[in-house]
């Protein structure tokens, strides 16, 4: 007959198990911390190197030859780069603003109108740009603009065509953000306002819109970032005289990494960091 474990040994094992579980938890925490540290290093160490080498004397990005700001001076004297940056900024502002307005309406319709004719098709068309490859969108937009130009002589490829293309794929992101926010919205506030005699438009303007404004602002920022950063779609719909900042940077990098690109990247990182700090300050202030 096999020997069975004594009750005392079983009690000892149960007594030791919390310590072993604590040791396992510590090991798991150390592994998670190490993995997180490597992940952040992988993400942010290249950015730190770009910032450091933007002040490098040498043109070679792998050789440190001393501190210098000549590449910053060269960047601000580069009219082609500044012109491309100004064009990208204008396109991003226009496309983000228009996409925020249309996306707000689309998200509100999807969240507040449960049934209307073609709702499923409408929702699919709104979300489609999020899952559709940009190459496919670029080809379709190019065919549309070329055909329209041949038939009506409008529009010429340039600022307008790029803005239309960016608006088209940015609407989906704004609509999704607004729809998610409205799904958790307390409708009793709207009902109370309407019970007091407010019209639907007044209720939306004074109650709903201020409360979902952070979501609309987040959608606007997302659309602005996507427009400012887009390269693939822009290359299809841009004209010969319209070169955005991503297009200019890409053409420069193909010929070799120019230290001016490091200075430009440093400016972009600094602006993004300031925006994050300001956003955090506003959040803490409201809290």
Residues 6+ apart with CB under 8 A from 43: none
Give percent of the chain above pLDDT 90. Answer: 39
- Is the predicted pLDDT of residue 137 greater than 50, yes or no? yes
The whole-number pLDDT of residue 287 equals 56
With a cut of 70, say whether residue 12 has pLDDT above it.
Answer: no
| pLDDT > 80? residue 286 | no
Within 32-178, strands assigned E span: none
Is 61's pLDDT higher than 80? no
- Is residue 51 over pLDDT 60? yes
**In the structure encoding, which two tokens stand for residue 230, read together?**
């887009």
What is d(CA 263, CA 73) in angstroms, rounded to the nearest whole number? Answer: 9
* Domains of the chain with CATH codes: 85-263 (1.10.3720.10)
Q: Is the pLDDT of residue 281 over 90?
A: no
Contact 51/266 with Cβ under 8 angstroms?
A: yes
Q: Which residue has the higher pLDDT, 230 or 275?
A: 230
pLDDT value of position 277:
86
Helix and strand totals (H; E) in the chain = 12, 0
Q: Comparing C-alpha atoms, which of 212, 114, 217, 130 is closest to residue 170?
A: 130
What are the residues facing 56 on neighbouring strands?
67
Residue 83: what pLDDT? 93
Compute the average pLDDT of residues 17-41.
79
pLDDT tens digits, one per residue of 152-200: 888 888 899 999 999 999 999 999 999 999 988 888 888 898 888 889 8
- Give every CB contact of residue 243 below 8 A, 6+ residues apart in sequence: 80, 83, 84, 87, 251
pTM passes above 0.85: no
Distance (Å, rounded) from C-alpha 114 to C-alpha 110? 7
Residue 281 Cα distances to 41, 149, 214, 256, 274, angstroms: 26, 48, 14, 40, 10
Neighbours of 108 (CB within 10 A): 18
> Is residue 21 predicted with pLDDT exceeding 70?
no
Alpha-carbon span 233 to 285, nearest angstrom: 39
Among 34-48, 172-186, 264-278, the range scoring the smallest mean pLDDT is: 264-278
101 versus 197: the higher-pLDDT residue is: 101
Is pLDDT at 125 greater than 80 in this prediction?
yes
Q: Chain-wide mean pLDDT for the chain?
A: 86
Residue 1 has pLDDT above 50, yes or no: no
**Both tokens of residue 138?**
């670029």
Please classify residue 155 by burial: count the beta carbons closer than 10 Å to its beta carbon, then call 0-12 exposed, 13-18 middle and 19+ buried: middle
Per residue in 190-220, pLDDT tens? 889 888 888 989 999 999 998 898 889 889 9
Q: What is the pLDDT of residue 17?
A: 58
DSSP state, residue 283: H
Cα 221 from chain centre: 7
Q: What is the pLDDT of residue 7?
A: 52
Summarised one tens digit per residue, pLDDT across range 216-252 is 988 999 999 999 989 999 999 998 888 999 999 888 8
Token code pair at residue 14 = 């149960």
Q: Which of 27-31, 81-85, 210-214, 248-252 has the lowest mean pLDDT?
A: 27-31
User: Does residue 155 have a cis peptide bond before it, meaning omega lies within 30 degrees of 0?
Assistant: yes
């Amino acid at each position: 007959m096999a020997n069975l474990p004594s009750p005392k040994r079983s009690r000892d094992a149960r007594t030791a198990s919390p310590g072993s579980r604590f040791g396992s938890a510590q090991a798991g925490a150390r592994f998670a911390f190490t993995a997180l540290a490597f992940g952040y290093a992988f993400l942010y160490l290249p950015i730190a190197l770009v910032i450091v080498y933007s002040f490098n004397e040498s043109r070679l990005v792998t050789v440190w030859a001393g501190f210098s700001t000549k590449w910053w001076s060269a960047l601000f004297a580069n009219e082609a780069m500044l012109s491309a940056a100004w064009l990208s900024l204008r396109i991003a502002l226009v496309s983000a603003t228009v996409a925020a307005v249309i996306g707000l309406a689309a998200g509100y319709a999807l969240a507040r109108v449960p049934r209307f004719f073609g709702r499923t098709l409408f929702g699919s068309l709104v979300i489609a740009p999020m899952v559709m490859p940009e190459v496919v969108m670029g080809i379709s937009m190019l065919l549309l603009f070329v055909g329209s130009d041949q038939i009506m002589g409008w529009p010429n490829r340039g600022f307008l065509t790029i803005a239309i293309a960016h608006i088209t794929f940015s609407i989906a992101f704004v609509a999704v953000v607004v729809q998610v926010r409205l799904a958790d919205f307390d409708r009793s506030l709207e009902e109370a306002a309407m019970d007091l005699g407010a019209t639907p438009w007044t209720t939306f303007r004074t109650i709903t819109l201020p409360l979902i404004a952070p979501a609309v602002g987040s959608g606007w920022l997302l659309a602005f970032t996507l427009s400012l950063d887009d390269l693939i779609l822009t290359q299809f719909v841009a004209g010969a005289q319209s070169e955005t900042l991503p297009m200019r940077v890409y053409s420069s990098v193909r010929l070799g990494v120019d230290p001016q690109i490091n200075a430009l990247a440093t400016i972009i990182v600094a602006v993004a960091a300031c925006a994050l700090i300001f956003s955090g300050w506003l959040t803490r202030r409201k809290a």
